[in-house]
């Protein structure tokens, strides 16, 4: 095995030997990412209704199911309806602090069981949560961003925000409000640049997931089939008051 220095030295030699094919630079990045991200957010304070409309269209095109409610208090009944439709009993969710609502009282009142993710945990807690997430039929999360041009939900992992909540259950439900709406991938780029320009903090997990509809495959005769490994259904609940 080569060391890093040897490996890179060889590449450097090749790069020096090679005339570039044409003058080229990477895409221009925001000079002050935090300010650029602020500018994007400001833009969206006016433009979110258009973005929401586009999100709905695109989300429907990828077989997402869209709901709109007035306040967080209305969310449990949407989840209850989905559960009835699916004949589901077990629900798992992000930590209530991360989700912005404690679903337990209302869901338990409907006869549903809820396992909320712990904020922190050791190996045992991980194993326990995995078992719960694998057993649950519905996983409820927030969404850090909702990207209109593709109907994409963007979720960041972190304390109280496990990766598997949106992955193992057959139905994924994501809750978000207007401040989460973005129009373009380009804006997502700005936001991610800003995020990475911040100092590392304990709140940041290792994973950002872009989720665009339910899991799908076309590997057998190009026949579209849903729910290969991930969820078979994805619901988005837009909350006006958020």
Partner 1 sequence: MSDQALRTPFSERAGAALRDTSLQQALTLATTKFIGLRKEAFATYPQGERARDQARAIKEATLQRLDHYLNMLADNVERLGGHVHWATTGEEACETILRICRECRVKTVVKSKSMATEEIELNEALEHAGVTPIETDLGEYIIQLAREKPSHIIAPAIHKTRGQVADLFSRVLKGQFPADPEVLTAVARKELRQKFLQADMGITGANFAVADTGTIVLVTNEGNGRMVTSLPRIHVAVMGIDKVIPSMTDLMFFLGILARSATGQKISVYTTLVRGPRQPGELEGPDEFHLILMDNGRARQIASELREALYCLRCGACLNVCPVYRQIGGHAYGYTYPGPIGILLTAMLKGDRAVKDLAHASSLCGACQEVCPVRIDIPRMLIELRQRLDRERIAPLAERVLFKTFAQVLTTPALFRLAATLGRLAQRPFVRGGRLQNLPLVFARWTKGRDLPPVAARTFSERWRELR
Please check whether residue 178 is in contact with residue 51, taking contact to mean a CB–CB distance below 8 angstroms.
Answer: no
# binding residues, partner 1 (CB under 8 A): 85
Among 32, 228, 240, 241, binds partner 1 (CB under 8 A): 228
CB of 82 to partner 1, least distance (A): 20
Helix (H, G, I), strand (E, B) or coil at 43: helix
- How many other C-beta atoms can be found within 10 angstroms of the C-beta atom of residue 42? 10
Among 70, 159, 171, 199, binds partner 1 (CB under 8 A): 159
What radius of gyration do the chain's Cα atoms show? 21
Among 177, 230, 236, 237, binds partner 1 (CB under 8 A): 230
Restricting to residues 68-107, which ones interact with partner 1 according to CB under 8 A?
Answer: none
* Candidates 2-10, 70-78, 103-111, 137-145; binding stretch for partner 1 (CB under 8 A): 2-10
Residue 10 engages partner 1 in binding (rule: CB under 8 A): yes
Query: For 220, phi and psi rounded to 5 degrees?
Result: -105, 110
CB of 111 to partner 1, least distance (A): 26
How many whole angstroms separate alpha carbon 114 and alpha carbon 112? 7
How many whole angstroms separate alpha carbon 203 and alpha carbon 159? 6
Which DSSP symbol is given to 158? B
CB of 109 to partner 1, least distance (A): 27
87: region left, alpha or beta (phi > 0 left; psi from -120 to 50 alpha):
left
Q: Which is nearer to partner 1, 22 or 46 (CB)?
A: 22
* Candidates 12-20, 81-89, 97-105, 173-181; binding stretch for partner 1 (CB under 8 A): 12-20
Residue 134 engages partner 1 in binding (rule: CB under 8 A): yes
How many whole angstroms separate alpha carbon 121 and alpha carbon 126? 7
Binding mask 181-200 for partner 1 (x = CB under 8 A): ----xx-xxx-xx--x----
Query: For 148, phi and psi rounded to 5 degrees?
Result: -70, -45
How many whole angstroms separate alpha carbon 37 and alpha carbon 173? 27
Residue 32 engages partner 1 in binding (rule: CB under 8 A): no
Among 37, 48, 51, 58, binds partner 1 (CB under 8 A): 58
Q: Which is nearer to partner 1, 8 or 109 (CB)?
A: 8
């Amino acid at each position: 095995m080569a060391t890093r220095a040897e490996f890179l030295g060889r590449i450097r030699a090749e790069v020096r030997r090679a005339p570039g094919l044409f003058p080229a630079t990477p895409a221009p990045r925001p000079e002050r990412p935090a300010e650029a991200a602020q500018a994007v957010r400001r833009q969206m304070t006016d433009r979110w209704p258009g973005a929401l409309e586009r999100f709905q269209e695109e989300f429907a095109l990828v077989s997402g199911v869209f709901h709109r409610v007035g306040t967080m208090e209305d969310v449990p009944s949407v989840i209850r309806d989905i559960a009835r439709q699916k004949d589901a009993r077990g629900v798992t969710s992000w930590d209530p602090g991360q989700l912005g609502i404690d679903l337990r009282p209302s869901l338990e009142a409907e006869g549903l069981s809820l396992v909320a993710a712990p904020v922190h945990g050791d190996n045992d807690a991980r194993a326990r949560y995995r078992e719960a997430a694998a057993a649950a039929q519905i996983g409820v999360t927030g969404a850090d961003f909702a990207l209109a041009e593709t109907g994409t939900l963007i979720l960041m992992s972190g304390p109280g925000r496990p990766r598997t909540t949106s992955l193992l259950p057959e139905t994924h439900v994501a809750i978000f409000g207007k401040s989460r709406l973005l129009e373009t991938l380009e804006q997502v780029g700005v936001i991610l640049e800003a995020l990475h320009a911040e100092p590392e903090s304990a709140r940041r997990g290792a994973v950002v997931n872009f989720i665009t509809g339910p899991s799908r495959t076309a590997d057998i005769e190009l026949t579209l089939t849903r729910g290969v490994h991930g969820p078979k259904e994805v619901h988005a609940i837009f909350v006006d008051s958020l």
